[in-house]
A and B are shown apart, each in its own frame.
Chain A
Amino acid sequence: MNDMTFKASTGPSMGVELELQLVRAHDYDLAHEAGDLLVRLGKRKLKGEVKPEITQSMIELNTSVHLRHAGLRAELEEMREAVAADAGMLNLRVSGGGAHPFHDWNDRRIYQTERFEAFLERYGYLAKQFTVFGQHVHLGCPDGDAAVYLVHVLTRYVPHFIALSAASPFYQGRDTSFQSSRLTAISAFPLAGHMPFVPDWEAFVGYFRSMQEYGVAASMKDFYWDIRPKPEYGTVEIRVFDTPLSVARAAQLAAYAQAIAAWHLAERPRQPAQEAYLVNGFNRFEACRFGYRGEMIDAWERRKKMIGEDILDTVAMVMPHARHLECAEALAQLAGDVRRDHCDADWLRARLSQAGSLADVVRAASDRWAAAD
């Protein structure tokens, strides 16, 4: 675990981890049956993996490594169907979304494995409040220096990733007024935030070793950064996405990140800049609170822009790479949603005003997850 050799990835590969909500059919509150579901899913032969997460109310889908959007999408679809079939046998519903709208965190039960026991012991109520659901996208890097470079330049796009995936407007029974309330739960952890501004992999390993010596962190897993290098996979992992409401969206988000990474690694259009981290907190808040309609500061060009507008400009910029990676259509769909001002958070709010209760919101979200779109 503490071997910090960076395993080289070939090509602009990607993989997705998706944390999903398990809900009960009769009241749409979170269920506690991840264990039963995983026993069933364990008997299936899937390319990727389905894993337990911190509470009994959550499972995590891990895809295998993909070079193309279509393959990733197909695998996610296959996993979605497998999970839906087994969950149906147990009368469980599965839903996307970054947070459950009305669960009581006091009710959460921690999955009985050692790491999670230690987690609960250390973090107390934060551990239970951590019942939030994110999508992590892994992007392959040729070496550690490229990974450090990519972490620094991708920070500029953190508001994009948040706004495009935002799907947690409700938390603990209230409309938070945020498009994504999930990231607030993560910010409470001591090692949340971002990677320090180090120039290369060697410097990063030096930083990590001294954090180990101080006793602040035992392994890379202790860092809850928005974007972090993952040397044993040979990837950079983006962790700010809310789990979207559909598999299609999850694959589109991964393709968008892949195209941006491919562009930067191929053309190096920007050099890492410490200023990116000065404005990061502001950008991140604007994206969580207002989504596409928030403002972001471009540290390189030193100007303010609407997040939605910047996404559209970026999609146009990376299009040549997207065509090469065969994900132009996926990006066009994302851009179309930005133009129409469609996002999952607003979709959830619309369900509330239409149906009247948060249980209905969860039902609608689980119906949407169950429908192949």
Chain B
Amino acid sequence: MLEPFWFVPDWPPALGELVAFGTLLLAGLIGGEGLHRLLSLPRITGYVLAGIALGPECLGVVRAPLLDESRLIVDLALGLIMFELGARFDAAWFARNRWLFIAALGESLGAFFAIYAGLLWLGYTPLLAGCAAAVGTATSPAVVLLVAHEQRASGQITERMLLFTAVNCATAFVALMLFLPLLHLEHRADWRSALLHPMYLLFGAALLGYLACRLMLWLARWLGKREDRQFVLLVAAVILLVGLARAVEVTVVVALLSFGMLARNLDRDHVLVPLQFGYAGQLLFVVLFVITGASLDFSLLGPAAAVAAAFIVLRFLGKAAAILAFARLSGLRPGGAGLLSVALLPMSGLAVIMVWDTAVLFPSFGMELAALVLSAVAILELFGPLATQAALRLAGEAGAEPPK
């Protein structure tokens, strides 16, 4: 006797990760485009809001396993961004305009010391204040790059925003590494590992970046000047670099950043074609920001709101003071300093990564750092893109929307 075959699955069906991932992408797309059309907000803000809505604290569509599975895409998106940002680090420009380098370094140090001093004054320990200040030094590479891209921005404020971001990201990591020995000693490691570990993290990453750069230049020469092939090459190099950096436990972001910087400045025969993000890039960036939104932690915002506000204000004042001080000498037009300072406001995923990298090594300290910094990140995640967009538009550097 034949058994009837019951082909309808149990109700409700078990929806897999693919459904969740598709929902994530769709929500990001609709959120970004909808807010852009309704309120002329940066699309990034819409992606982030969609992420918050889907995140564990609201609808719960995006949960921890999905966050893990989309890791490859997030890494790749961040990798491309760090590479492109590194590629905007133009050593030749600094050689022609020394004051610009001093201004860029001043901007980083201004933010660092303003936050550091402010937090000390608020009663935080030097170690916590220092690490928080290091995290706050960096501007979000993803936000500035993508807002500039979306606005088709081009001009001095745009160029300097990207250049300063490259410098302040590098400075932020170096600063964080300088505090690492102190953290180690506080946690009773011996002085040798306290000294060697940060050097390993930093120089190991830079070495990997250098090797990736050599590989890329060598293969790009062989491939020739074809944008499509070189894009695949870059994606491969980025994934490989992230994987290797993680395998040997060096700082992934530093590896990517040095990869971009070296590729730009060692490409003497100009074998690389300028990177175009294209459709593939768009896809990656929607995922990146929806996931970032879903991982934002607003639970700490209540008690820490005042500190977060102080953090943001100090950071802005530190950056603005240094930019203003060197504006004329570095050849910035009058009125440009204010706009550049506003454009450099965003904080984002990079700050989260810096915090979690620290938390992996020192869990309890990491939690304290997270409580201090991540509320500010959550606020700037929402308002940073707006600030950058407004600054670029006021600077007259935003282009027209591409024809539909």
Enumerate chain A interface residues (CB-CB to B < 8 A): 24-28, 31-33, 35-36, 39-40, 86, 88-91, 106-107, 109, 112, 355-357, 359-360, 363
Contact = CB atoms under 8 A, between A and B. Distances in A.
B97 A89 contact: yes
B224 A88 contact: no
Nearest to A25: B90
Contacts of A90: 97, 156, 331
Interface in B79-94: 87-88, 90, 92-93
B159 interface: yes
Interface of B: 87-88, 90, 92-93, 96-97, 100, 152, 154-156, 159, 224-225, 264, 270, 273-274, 330-331, 333, 396-397, 399-400, 402-403
Contacts of B225: 355-357, 360
Contact of B156 (A28, A33, A107, A112): A33
Nearest to A363: B270
Contacts of B270: 355, 360, 363
Nearest to B93: A91
Given A32-B154, A107-B399, 11 more contacts: A24-B154, A25-B90, A32-B397, A36-B155, A39-B333, A90-B156, A91-B97, A91-B159, A355-B270, A356-B224, A356-B225
B274 A359 contact: yes
The 7 closest A-B pairs by CB, nearest first: A27-B274, A356-B225, A88-B96, A89-B331, A91-B93, A357-B225, A89-B97
A27 B92 CA distance: 14
Contacts of B399: 107, 109
A106 B333 contact: no
B273 A26 contact: no
30 contacts: A24-B154, A26-B87, A26-B264, A26-B274, A27-B274, A28-B274, A31-B155, A32-B155, A32-B397, A33-B154, A39-B333, A86-B331, A88-B97, A89-B97, A89-B100, A90-B97, A90-B156, A90-B331, A91-B93, A91-B96, A91-B97, A106-B402, A107-B152, A107-B399, A355-B270, A356-B224, A357-B225, A359-B273, A360-B270, A363-B270
Contacts of A27: 274
B98 to A, nearest CB: 10
Contacts of B92: 25
A33 B332 CA distance: 12
Nearest to A84: B96
Contacts of B155: 31-33, 36
Majority secondary structure, B binding face? loop
A356 B152 CA distance: 26
Most chain A beta-carbon neighbours within 10 Å: one of B88, B155, B224, B225: B155
B123 to A, nearest CB: 43
Contacts of B264: 26
A350 to B, nearest CB: 16
A24 to B, nearest CB: 7
A25 B331 CA distance: 17
A40 B403 contact: no
A341 B353 CA distance: 60
A360 B396 CA distance: 28
Nearest to A31: B154
A40 B331 contact: yes
A350 B156 CA distance: 32
B160 to A, nearest CB: 9
Contacts of A357: 225, 273
Nearest to B158: A32
B26 to A, nearest CB: 30
Given A25-B90, A91-B93, A36 B333 contact: yes
B107 to A, nearest CB: 17
